Amino acid sequence: MGSIQRVFGKRDPFDDLLRSQRRTRRGGRGKWVILFVVLGALGAIGYWWSDSAPVAETEPVADLSAAFGVASSNIARAQHSALEPLLVEAPEEEEAAVVVWDESWTEGAEAKLKGKLARNQSVFVALQAKGLDPAKFQPAITAMSKVFDFRKSRPGDDWRVYVEADGSLTKFEYSTSPEDVWVAEQKEGAFEATKLEIPVEIRQETIRGTIKSSLWLAFDEAGASARLSQNFIDLFVYTIDFNVETQVGDTFVVHYEQKYLDGKYLGDGRVLAASYHGAEGSKYGFWFDNGEESGYYDENGDSLKRQFLKSPIPIVRITSKFGRRFHPVLKKMKMHAGVDYGAPTGTPVMAAADGTIVHAGWKGANGKLVSIKHPNGYVTHYAHLSKITKGLKRGKKVSQKDIIGKVGTTGRSTGPHLHYGMTKNGQNVNPLKVDAQKAEPLVGDAKERYLRTVVEPLKKLVGE
C-alpha cells in the first residue's frame, strides 16, 4: 500500500523486527522440509537399485550414474515444490501481522502508544493521560504546531507516539483523516515536522435531484453524502437563502470530486460545478484557481462571495420576518426589527461577515446576545442564544462563518429560535434585502481562461 499504510496501516515501520524474526523461523522450517524430501528420494533410489535385474560388470557404473541423475532431478523438483508454498505465503503472513500497542508508558521501558481525541480533549491532555511527561513531549507538539493548527483538532482525530525508555519521544504522528497526516520526528536532537504526501486518487461524479419536500431530503434521495450537501449549500451561501427560496419542484445538479486511497472510497471532496434551478431562475457556481486567488464564480466570472451570508444558520424555517407584527409575548402590534429563524436548541450560529465583537453577553429581552460591527457602517445582532462561544468578548476579531454561539430560547422568547437583526449607520434594516458588496470579479486573461476552460465545458454538464 502507499505511504499512508506505513503510518496507519498494518505494516508499520517498527514491525520490521517482528517480520525478520518470522522469516528466520520460516527459513528453519523450510530446511527441515528439504531434508525430509532428500532422504525420501535417496530411499526410493535404494529400493529401485536392489530390485533391479543383474547386469554385466561394466554396466552398474553407467546405470548408477543415470540413477543419480534422475534422483538429482527429482530432488531439485522436490526442493522447488517445498520452497514455493513458503515463498507464496510469506507476504500474506506479513499482512496479517498484528502490531502490539502499549496501554501506557512505564518508566524505563520503550513504548508505542496510540489513541483518538475524546470530546473536549486536547492532544496535550491525551498524551499526559498515557503517563507521559509534558516536558518530554511538548517539543514534538511545538514542532508540529508549525505545520498543523491544533485549534482545528476534532474529536476522533488519531495520534501515535513512539517513546524511549527515558520518556522522550522519537516520533509523533497526528491524523485528521486518512489523507491528512502530519509527522514530527526527532533528527539530530531536534524535531522536524511535515505533512505526508498521501497518494489520493481523485475521481469525478455528477448527481441530479428534484426537491419534493426539502433540500436535505432531495440530496439524500439522490444518494449524496451529508458533506456534499453542506458543500453545495456553502457554495451558494452568499447568493441563495435556502430558508426562503426553496420550493417543491426546484432542481439541482452537482459535479464534484470523490477521493480514493488504494481503491478504497474515502469521502467526497470539492464541488467543481453546481447549479440550482427554481422560481428565482437558474444560478450557477464554478470552482476556479487562477494561481493567485481561488474561489467560486458564476457563469460570467463574477465572484459568488459577498460581504454577508444570506443566512447565519443552516437550512431551517423563517418563523417571523422583518416588519410590524403581533408580538406573541407582549400581545400587541410591535415593530419586529429582524428575522426569526426557528431551529432546535444547540444549532450552530455563524458570523454573517468579518467584523469585531461589540457585545457578547446577556442583554435584557434579547437574552444571550452577540453583536458584531462590520465595515461600511453595518452591525449584526444574534439574540436568544443558549450559549455564546467561549472566548468571545468585546474587541475580539471574528471571521465570516466563525461559530459565535448556539440557538436557544433565552430572554423574551416563546421557543428555540435565532433572532437575526441588522443595522446600518444606527438604523434597522431588513437582513434579507441587504444588497451586500461583492468580492472582486475575474478580469482580463484570467476571465478569458475561466470562461473557456471551466464554464464552457461544465455548464453543459450542470445545466437543466
User: Between helices 16-50 and 59-95, what is the axis angle to 10°?
Assistant: 160
Number of domains in the chain: 4
Beta-bridge partners for 368: 362, 385
Is 328 in contact with 369 (CB distance < 8 Å)? no
- 428 shares a domain with 328: yes
**CA distance to 342, 364, 391, 406, per residue, from 388 (Å):** 18, 15, 9, 7
Give the separation between CA 285 and CA 276, rounded to whole angstroms.
9
Show which of 148, 170, 195 is a domain's final residue. 195
Whether residue 310 is contained in a domain is answered as no
| Predicted local confidence at residue 248, as pLDDT | 94
- 425 shares a domain with 334: yes
The residue type found at 406 is: K
- How long is the chain? 464
Please give the DSSP secondary-structure letter assigned to residue 451.
I
- In 10 A of CB 350, how many CB atoms? 20
Show which of 297, 330, 363 is a domain's final residue. 297
Q: Name the 3-class secondary structure at 144.
A: helix
- 284 shares a domain with 348: no
- 415 shares a domain with 326: yes
Give the separation between CA 404 and CA 373, rounded to whole angstroms.
13
- 89 shares a domain with 119: no
> DSSP string of 60-99?
HHHHHHHHHHHHHHHHHHHHHHHHHHHHHHHHHHHHT--P
- 291 shares a domain with 214: yes
Whether residue 105 is contained in a domain is answered as no
- In 10 A of CB 163, how many CB atoms? 26
Please give the DSSP secondary-structure letter assigned to residue 432.
G
Show which of 95, 127, 162 is a domain's final residue. 95
Whether residue 443 is contained in a domain is answered as no
Please give the grid coordinates belonging to residue 299.
Answer: 457563469
For residue 11, give every residue at least 6 positions away whose Cβ sits within 8 Å of its Cβ, in sequence order, or none.
1, 5, 94, 95, 97
Is 265 in contact with 258 (CB distance < 8 Å)? yes
pLDDT in 10s for each residue of the chain, 464 residues = 333 333 333 344 334 433 444 444 444 455 554 555 455 555 555 544 444 444 333 444 444 444 445 444 554 454 445 444 444 444 454 554 566 787 888 888 889 999 999 998 999 999 999 989 999 999 999 999 999 999 889 999 999 999 999 999 999 999 999 889 999 999 888 999 999 999 899 999 999 999 998 898 999 999 999 999 999 998 998 888 887 788 999 999 999 999 999 899 999 999 999 999 998 899 999 999 977 778 999 999 999 988 888 889 876 777 777 666 555 666 666 677 788 988 899 999 999 989 999 999 999 989 999 999 998 889 999 999 999 999 999 999 999 889 999 999 999 888 899 999 999 888 888 888 786 677 888 988 999 999 999 999 999 999 87
Whether residue 374 is contained in a domain is answered as yes
- CB contact burial 200-235 (16+ within 10 A = b; e otherwise): beeeeeeeebebeeebbebbeebebeeebbbbbbeb
Element (H, E) at 112: strand 111-116
Whether residue 306 is contained in a domain is answered as no
| Predicted local confidence at residue 322, as pLDDT | 64
Report the CATH number that the domain containing residue 398 is assigned in CATH. 2.70.70.10
Give the separation between CA 239 and CA 83, rounded to whole angstroms.
69
Beta-bridge partners for 223: none
Q: What is the C-alpha R_g of the chain? A: 34
- 126 shares a domain with 65: no
Beta-bridge partners for 158: 116, 175
Whether residue 303 is contained in a domain is answered as no
- 401 shares a domain with 367: yes
- 429 shares a domain with 340: yes
Please give the DSSP secondary-structure letter assigned to residue 53.
P
Nearest by Cα to 347 from 420, 436, 277: 420
- 253 shares a domain with 171: no
The residue type found at 223 is: G
132 is in which domain, residue-wise? 111-195
| Predicted local confidence at residue 290, as pLDDT | 79
Whether residue 460 is contained in a domain is answered as no
Give the separation between CA 335 and CA 323, rounded to whole angstroms.
6
| Predicted local confidence at residue 438, as pLDDT | 77
- 209 shares a domain with 159: no
Report the CATH number that the domain containing residue 189 is assigned in CATH. 3.10.450.350
Whether residue 77 is contained in a domain is answered as yes
| Predicted local confidence at residue 143, as pLDDT | 94
